[in-house]
Amino acid sequence: MQIPDNKTITRTVIRPFFICVCVFFSVFEGSLPTEITAQGRRHGSSAVSQETVSRNCYDPADPNLIRLWPSRAPGAIGDDPCRDIPYMRVFTSPSGMRRPEPVILIIPGGGYDRLTETKEQTPVAEHFVEDLHVTAIVLYYRLVQRDGIYRYPVPMWDGQRAIKLIRSRAAELGIDPKRVAVFGFSAGGHLASTLALHSATDFDLPLHDSIDTVSGRPDLLGLGYPVISMDPADVPPSGSYHNLLNGFRGAELQHLQIYLSGERNITRRTPPVFLFESMDDARISPQNSVLFIDALHRADMPVEAHLFPHGEHGDGLAEGVAGEDEWPEMFHRWLIGQNYVEQ
């Protein structure tokens, strides 16, 4: 069956195409190259150095950084600014822009044990600020360590705290607390979708303060080549799976495999979704996206999805990637249609 072009996916397209994707990628995933991650584990992708991880460090002298908790974060094992302190970096519109502005929280990927830097952080944030006229905020959540420290649910604590903190500081940041969107890439897409689907829970957060009374539900959900499923019956386990669920066994693991699979947890509270994916992604199976789109359609929930024949995993704005490089403008038009930004 021919791979669809970059037009919006509809119910009539997705159902027959779903079968084709499942068959193709059940074979393809088995031949993925091996990577050595920053912590030394092996998973499918390219090598990443420790230097890449160490650059994401909290600096209290930087006025553009916001620490998620004023003191030690729940579950933190120390105060290492490059490991133990989750924070956000704020990118604001030029002076003179109309306020309050919408805000988009960007959640970069990297397999839950590192953060992809070069294309999913600053370039995306600057594009959102300059072209969409929103405030953009990049989340630096805690990363799973070799011994399993900061595995599930720690990244979810950090992500939900970020959404709530943004809303609680709306006046200070000059943003509209009723227009808080998240956009996640790869593993960051899994985190973003999990926050959207399970916004009614606090993921058993052990420490609470006044910020926790604020809503943690994003108003819109954007996803780029996301990890969605943690169910090995649906998608072969990825590096994100092995890192996030490091050390879980038995019934607890089986529960989390379903609970953390987006395609199994659609509710009426799920926000509208924008998603783009390349169907030749050689690192994370596009089956993740197809499963999620199909589940949203079956639940009659709003989704605009663009499946491109070709793309590159981790390419952020996809500059220079023919076809896929259209997604930022498609996302802009979608935001206009959602009355999130002005035309």
Q: What pLDDT is attached to residue 34?
A: 26
User: In the block, which residue shows the tokens 């791979």?
Assistant: 3
Q: Quick: pLDDT tens for 37-52.
A: 333 333 333 333 333 3
What does pLDDT average to over the chain?
85
Q: What pLDDT is attached to residue 233?
A: 94
> What distance in Å separates the CA atoms of residue 142 and residue 105, rounded to the nearest whole number?
16
Q: What are 119's two structure tokens? A: 């294309």
Asked whether the CA dihedral 52, 182, 228, 190 is positive or negative, the reply is positive
Q: What pLDDT is attached to residue 116?
A: 82
* Angle at CA of residue 139, ends 135 and 144, nearest 5°: 170
How many residues does this entry show for the chain? 343
Q: What pLDDT is attached to residue 96?
A: 55
Q: Quick: pLDDT tens for 83-139.
A: 999 999 999 987 655 678 999 999 999 999 999 878 999 999 999 999 999 999 999
3-state secondary structure 99-126: CCEEEEEEECCCCCCCCCCCCCCHHHHH
Between helices 187-197 and 154-168, what is the axis angle to 10°? 70
Q: What pLDDT is attached to residue 312?
A: 86
pLDDT per residue of the chain (343 residues) written in tens, 0 to 9: 333 444 444 332 333 333 233 323 322 333 232 222 333 333 333 333 333 333 689 999 999 999 999 999 999 999 999 999 999 999 998 765 567 899 999 999 999 999 987 899 999 999 999 999 999 999 999 999 999 999 999 999 999 999 999 999 999 999 999 999 999 999 999 999 999 999 999 999 999 999 999 999 999 999 999 999 999 999 999 999 999 999 999 999 999 999 999 999 999 999 999 999 999 998 999 999 999 999 999 999 999 999 999 998 978 898 888 899 999 999 999 999 999 999 8
Q: What pLDDT is attached to residue 11?
A: 34
Helices (H), 120-249: 122-127, 154-168, 170-173, 187-197, 239-244
Q: What pLDDT is attached to residue 97?
A: 59
Q: What pLDDT is attached to residue 162?
A: 98
What are 233-238's contacts with CB under 8 Å, separation 24+?
234/261, 234/263, 234/287, 234/291, 235/29, 235/285, 235/287, 235/288, 235/291, 236/26, 236/29, 236/30, 236/285, 238/43, 238/44, 238/111, 238/284, 238/285
Q: What pLDDT is attached to residue 19?
A: 29
CB atoms within 10 A of CB 205: 16
Which domains are present in the chain? Answer: 11-51+85-337 (3.40.50.1820)
User: In the block, which residue shows the tokens 């999805």?
Assistant: 305
- Whether omega for the bond prior to residue 100 falls within 30 degrees of 0, making it cis, is yes
DSSP state of 9: P
